[in-house]
Amino acid sequence: MSGSVTLTEKVWRVVLYVAATAGFVFLVAPILAIVPLSFNDGQFLTYPLRGLTLRWYENFFFSGTWMFSIRNSLIIGVCAALIASVLGTLAAIGLWLAEFPGKRLVGAFLLAPMIVPIVIYSVGLYFYFAPWNLTATHLGLILAHAVLGAPFVLITVGATLSGFDRTLIRAGQSLGATPIQVARHVVFPLIAPGVVFGGLFAFAVSLEEVITVLLIGGPNQRTLPREMFSGIRENISPTIAAAATIMIVLAILLLVTAELLRRRSAKLRSG
């Protein structure tokens, strides 16, 4: 009987391994398929490749239009991630410390930007920002992307706080530390990986977001995804494949950084 169970476990393990591998290939293959096209010597995004060249990357890095879009993406993404990190962290700490009726409802409301369709969010934001003259401005896009990124910070910091020992706060207070000193020297060092982890997700959300940019952005707020979207509609060029490959590399770097932070957080918890 034990042999039959062992055989069944082996079969299920193989089945799960094959299914996971097939799912991974199905999800990743379309993304990786664009990378070879960025080195294609032909004028069109087609297989087979006519040859290898780096001229599309040269067009990308020496183009004022593409560099302008990268600069906008970095400025908006970094500023939005910083604001989202502050708002998400404060919200997570507030929900963690406070006990009041409707706490779950408030938490669900704060996560609404992750659930509401981005088109509905962007249209509503346009009508809200228009009277304040925040449309077609960097500040408007930064605030819009910060709202989209804040729930990710709320989730990661909340997960970090779930394993936080509250007796550390009482110990700091018993030694005469002020609330600010306790937050600075006790709480924040332990939740810092979660804050940075969430900030990276907020930056990634801003980096790839295009619908909000289309609706409330102007000519001076053309981000990299916005420029790629325009290029696909107006003039399909392998330079778009080079831009997509660079975004893939940035996404991989963000994932690697997030994984390193996760391991560091796990070590701090175990220690």
Q: Is the pLDDT of residue 28 over 80?
A: yes
Percent of the chain at pLDDT > 90 equals 24
Q: Is the pLDDT of residue 57 over 50?
A: yes
Is pTM, for the whole model, over 0.85?
A: no
Q: Is the pLDDT of residue 122 over 60?
A: yes
Instruction: Identify the pLDDT of residue 2.
Output: 47
User: Burial, 206: exposed, middle or buried (Cβ in 10 Å; 0-12, 13-18, 19+)?
Assistant: buried
Q: Is the pLDDT of residue 167 over 80?
A: no
Q: How far is the CA of 19 from the CAs of 22, 42, 119, 126, in angstroms?
A: 5, 36, 34, 43
What is the rounded CA–CA span in Å between residue 74 and residue 224? 9
Residue 34 near residue 245, CB atoms below 8 Å: yes
Work out the angle at residue 145's Cα, subtended by the Cα atoms of residues 253 and 94, and round it to the nearest 5 degrees. Answer: 95
**Selected residue with higher pLDDT from 254 and 2:** 254
Percent of the chain at pLDDT > 70 equals 95
Three-class SS of residue 99? coil
Q: Is the pLDDT of residue 51 over 60?
A: yes
Instruction: Identify the pLDDT of residue 266.
Output: 67
What is the rounded CA–CA span in Å between residue 247 and residue 60? 12
Instruction: Identify the pLDDT of residue 1.
Output: 45
